[in-house]
Structure 1
Amino acid sequence: MTTSSTPSALPTIVVGGGLAGLTAAHTLLERGKRVVLLDKSPGLGGNSVKASSGINGAGTETQKALGVEDSVKAFAADTTKSAVPHENPALISVLTANSASAISWLADPNTFGIDLSLLSRLGGHSAARTHRDKGGAPGWAITSALMKKLVAISEEEGERGEKRVAIVKNARVVRLCAADDGTRISGVEYEVGTELKTIEGEGVVLATGGYGADFSETSYLAAHRPDLLSLSTTNGAHATGDGIRLATAQSLPANLRAGTTDLSLVQVHPTGFVDPANPDAKTKFLAAEALRGAGGMLLDKDGKRFVKEVERRDVVTAAMQTVQKEGRGPVRLVLGEKAVREVAKHCAFYVSKGLMQRYDNALDFSADVGIPLATLLTTLASFGGADDAFGPGPGAPYAPNEALHVAIITPVVHYTMGGLSISPSAQILTPSGDPIPGLFAAGEVVGGVHGGNRLAGSSLLEAVVFGRIAGAGVGA
């Protein structure tokens, strides 16, 4: 792509076409900038399209309309509690303070008009603040809307035939380029097939995702969390830590080389589906947290509950791993009719994939899997009731004759909280904490936002909040 030598005429280069990269691209376009978006995959979307629980926001119009009391202060407190002892107050403040405006930006008919009218209260949250659409696939609803609009803009031509945005797929970025005087990041080198190309830019936004799909000997998981190499993952094959490697490459001048943080902090999601047809598959479908938020319960092989289902992800995961180590597995996720109605499209999809099975009643379920019927009936009757040992939750006692949807689940590598060090303005920092001119980041490639544990619904939020900040920061 031919560019002018005038800095203001140079495009901004966005690396990665998931929600963070798409958000940055749209924000840049709103500011009159030109954009080149590079993605190593044949299609855009990344892991964002698979997000199934929703996007968090505190003090939103949806909450107000539904009478939900919430605040940025409460959201920040919940996030901090989840992040301890690795909390970063500055980044938590940015994430939570910008959450309502992120929801508004997505839902505004003048931008994307995305339906985010349903609310759930998920694990670790003190209020119902996780927004999703009526279609039941919030990651797809949000990300596809931004994809479609960006593709449409990429097909438009100005009066002189110029384009505001170019999208290049199957483009693997192999190097960040420094300006001749070594003062800033000035572009990238990327491969398309066997061809190596270089493009100069006003700035670069890295939105390449995390490293939760790389189990190789040279991976960040192998280096920092070898104990997780035996697990499966929910990540697409693209999640291999590319952006971290690019920004920390020894070939860069020391003053333009990024620092990292929290690379050992990896979220193991408690509920990945075990496919009966392929139980040892390394990549697994995620059983959305919305299923537990709707009133799903977790049972051991004897039909007993062992944890409050809407606890934080790290707490539920630890409880499940204890059950498995003690020989009380497999763990099953069970939903009654009320829960299924709330997440009907989720369940219909999982049943169609053979990941979830429907039983007419508790007797049929008990007979099929060998759970003692008396124990199962006691568990169903006490769930969410006055005698519930785990306290009040989103569900209600199950009737012995109601239909049940059941799946076998297991913990899976889901999200990498570690990544590149950034400032609250999304600028990538050196190991000593200095901002690197011309280099920004957003999404899962970033470290420090979630600390020790990410709350459900905050991955899509992080992508939008920091994608908007990064897009606004280039050339500011």
Structure 2
Amino acid sequence: GFLGGSTNVSGGALNAVDDKRQKAQGIEDSVQKFYESTMKGGHNVGNPELVKYLTDNAYPTVEWMEKEGVVFRDKIGAATGSLGQRSHYGKKPAGYAYTSAFENKLKEFGDHVVVLTETPASKLIMDKSGRVIGVSGLHAGKQPVTVMAPSVILATGGFGANVKFRQEVNTGVWKEVTLDNRIGTTNINKAAQGDGLKLAKSAHADIIGLSDIQLHPNGTPGTGLMQDIATSGRNRLFINKNGDRFVSESAARDTLCKAIFKQPDGTYWLLMNKLRYPDENKPDRMGVTMKDMLALGRVKKADTLDEMAKLINVPADHLKAAVAEYNKAASNKGTKDKFGFVATNTDDAPMTEGPWYACLKVPTVHHTMGGVRIDTLARALDKDGKPVPGLYAAGEVTGGIHGANRLGGNAIADVFTFGRQAGASAAQQK
């Protein structure tokens, strides 16, 4: 019913090696490091050619987005599980910083571009040779719509909200976890059913890596959404119900979630302090103020750690020891603590002053890494690795880019880098 899909409600982190912004913060990085961390984070099963294309072209994509109207913040951050400090954020809140800019861009084309919401595609139209030449669907549940075209791009998102399907294909990283209704999702329900995969299969495109499902550690109990508190970045601790830290907060997302499932009740408290929220009336990256979050009742506030321990029902001595342990690592940059946390990020700092804030969190289905097999031109490929004529794909509907685990901040980089390429490739079809 609206533009933007799951990108619209994402955290908006976009990973790219950006010499100008990173060097201004004293961050040392390279495209090779970006490539290596993406391969390693994906358990080295991602397609090296696709990963190289992503990491080589992420910053040119940032430059292109700026020309199209996106305004980025100067400060580079580190999304949860990013394995590096190269996450860009828009000045507008979250993913809306991008979707709003492109929606405005569409309006510049006037009647040359027709946007149809509430129009699920039901069929790819193919000629006798197997070329995709159009698509048909149903608008508002009653009006048939058919569009004939030299090329079709699938950009239909993943299947994280399709509980039945995600359980059927869950034979990979999370095979020991039942991904039923008790595990929520951060995705928009209608935008994450996997319908694009059915369309692709009907055109004989190869579907790969469906068992590669990502959970995010920062879901809200009961819904799986992440909108109640800004969860990404640094200077926030994972505290279990015993008041202890139990994992390196900078670890990859699958490592974080596996550690959470081993904790009492499979939940934990995300603990922050004044360092993250110096002004309760100032909107964070998600466009929400701490004052609003406190009013909703999801976030607990205390002036001291002793008070916080009572609010979240953990031993005060454990909680204070956990914070002290983190502060020691944050004060000794480059020194690994017992969980493997290393404070090399320029934003890492000891957490000492109140007020303190805590929010109960659980793992949630966040991203599905499997999907349509593509090449670096965003062409959909069949089982023999040959292009399906006239069919292109980009974004979460595709597979092979992120391997078995996606780095935080790589999805937005993916959707716009390969989306840009899909558009360029498709436009060449006559």
Which TM bucket (shorter chain)? 0.7 to 0.9
Q: Which residue does 2:179 correspond to in 1?
A: 228
Displacement of 1:352: 4.7
Query: 1:305 and 1:389 mapped to 2: Cα distance?
Result: 10
Q: Which residue does 1:3 correspond to in 2?
A: none
Secondary structure of 2:342's counterpart equals coil
Verify the 8 A CA contact 2:218 2:226 in the aligned structure 1.
no
Secondary structure of 1:133's counterpart equals coil
Displacement of 1:148: 2.2
| 2:263 is the counterpart of 1:332 | no
Verify the 8 A CA contact 1:92 1:450 in the aligned structure 2.
yes
1:12-411 equivalences under 5 Å are 42-108=1-67, 111-123=68-80, 125=82, 127-135=84-92, 137-150=93-106, 152-154=107-109, 156=110, 163-179=111-127, 181-192=128-139, 193-216=141-164, 219-224=165-170, 227-229=178-180, 230-238=182-190, 239-249=192-202, 256-274=203-221, 280-281=222-223, 283-285=224-226, 291-324=231-264, 327=265, 330-341=267-278, 345=284, 346=286, 348=290, 350-386=293-329, 388-390=337-339, 391-393=341-343, 395-399=348-352, 402-411=354-363
Secondary structure of 1:454's counterpart equals coil
Displacement of 1:60: 4.4
* Count of residues in Structure 1 that have an aligned counterpart in Structure 2: 404
Report Cα offsets for 1:379-411 as digits up to 9, x if no partner.
222213158533433543333x61111100000
Q: Which residue does 1:11 correspond to in 2?
A: none
Verify the 8 A CA contact 2:271 2:359 in the aligned structure 1.
yes
Query: 1:284 and 1:292 mapped to 2: Cα distance?
Result: 14
Q: What amino acid maps onto 2:14 in structure 1?
A: I
Q: What amino acid maps onto 1:317 in structure 2?
A: C
Query: 1:317 and 1:53 mapped to 2: Cα distance?
Result: 21
Displacement of 1:138: 3.0
Query: 2:227 and 2:384 mapped to 1: Cα distance?
Result: 38
Report Cα offsets for 1:168-200 as digits up to 9, x if no partner.
111111000002x32410001110121222210
Distance 1:176 1:134, change over 3 A: closer
Query: 1:146 and 1:475 mapped to 2: Cα distance?
Result: 18
Query: 2:169 and 2:90 mapped to 1: Cα distance?
Result: 39
Displacement of 1:125: 4.6
Displacement of 1:61: 3.2
| 2:375 is the counterpart of 1:423 | yes
Query: 2:375 and 2:274 mapped to 1: Cα distance?
Result: 46
Query: 1:298 and 1:344 mapped to 2: Cα distance?
Result: 23
Query: 1:220 and 1:370 mapped to 2: Cα distance?
Result: 35
Q: Which residue does 1:414 correspond to in 2?
A: 366
Instruction: Compare CA radii of gyration and give the structure with the larger one.
Output: 1
Q: What amino acid maps onto 1:449 in structure 2?
A: I
Q: What amino acid maps onto 1:337 in structure 2?
A: K
Distance 1:170 1:265, change over 3 A: same
Distance 1:131 1:385, change over 3 A: same
Displacement of 1:210: 0.2
| 2:414 is the counterpart of 1:471 | no
Distance 1:53 1:43, change over 3 A: closer
- Structure 1 range deviating more: 191-200 or 347-356: 347-356
Query: 1:125 and 1:204 mapped to 2: Cα distance?
Result: 32
Query: 2:228 and 2:256 mapped to 1: Cα distance?
Result: 13
Report Cα offsets for 1:302-328 as digits up to 9, x if no partner.
11000010110011111101114xx5x
RMSD: 2.2
Verify the 8 A CA contact 2:70 2:90 in the aligned structure 1.
no
Report Cα offsets for 1:192-243 as digits up to 9, x if no partner.
1212222101100000000000113xx2443445731241111111210011
Q: What amino acid maps onto 1:204 in structure 2?
A: V
* Stretches of structure 2 lacking an aligned partner (at least 5 in a row): none
Query: 1:332 and 1:272 mapped to 2: Cα distance?
Result: 11
Displacement of 1:430: 0.8
Distance 1:220 1:370, change over 3 A: closer
Secondary structure of 1:339's counterpart equals coil
Query: 2:133 and 2:296 mapped to 1: Cα distance?
Result: 46
Q: Which residue does 1:33 correspond to in 2?
A: none
Secondary structure of 2:245's counterpart equals coil
Secondary structure of 2:254's counterpart equals helix
Report Cα offsets for 1:148-169 as digits up to 9, x if no partner.
221x235x2xxxxxx3211111
Query: 2:306 and 2:166 mapped to 1: Cα distance?
Result: 47
Query: 2:7 and 2:41 mapped to 1: Cα distance?
Result: 22
Distance 1:382 1:220, change over 3 A: closer
Verify the 8 A CA contact 2:369 2:406 in the aligned structure 1.
yes
